[in-house]
Amino acid sequence: MSKFTKAQRQEIIDDYLRQTGQNLFIAGAFVDWLKKKPDHIAYSWFYGMSDQEAARDHRISLARNMASGLRITASFSAAPSQAKSVTVKQGETNYPSMISPMSMRANGGGYIHFDPKDEKSMMEFRNEAASTLRSWVKRYAVALEAIDVDQKTIEKLASKLEITLEKV
């Protein structure tokens, strides 16, 4: 619902709960209630398209959910080419198979294959990490404060993750 601000969405839901006397928001009940309210501000968001268009949008959402969060596990081993004593580093690392670049989201988004060795791919991933970290801190600020976590340290980490095209 990018059409409405967070405050507007909250007001729509609060108004629905007031009008129906409910104290629990159930998405299906809301959509059914809204269907009978063509003058409601949110009506066109849910009913402003044909069922065929809505079904396609839903399938696109399902496809995004299917791709979201997929991870690739890569094994690696690295050893120096010449050394008297050799230390071998072995292990596994985990990374997403696909990412949705933030720069593409304003135009409907999409997913691209993630290559941790590709600078542009890594830039997109780091910027998303910084954005997500900031969002997480904002959401859980009160929990962090309760255990005396310095949020400035997390902000420094987010800033360090961020990379701009000029730096690449």
Query: Are 21 and 73 members of one domain?
Result: no
- How large is the C-alpha radius of gyration of the chain? 23
Q: What total number of domains does the chain contain? A: 2
- Report the length, in residues, of the chain: 168
Range of the domain at 14: 6-48
Q: What pLDDT score does 76 carry?
A: 62
Q: In this model, does residue 40 exceed pLDDT 60?
A: yes
Residues 143 and 105 in one domain: yes
- Residue 135 inside a domain? The answer is yes
Domain identity same for 96 and 138 = yes
> What does the mean pLDDT of the chain come to?
82
pTM above 0.85, yes or no: no
Pairwise CA distance, residues 125 & 120, whole Å:
9
Question: 115-136: per-residue pLDDT in tens?
Answer: 888 888 888 888 888 988 999 9
Task: Quick: pLDDT tens for 90-101.
Answer: 667 778 887 888
- Model confidence at 168: pLDDT above 50: no
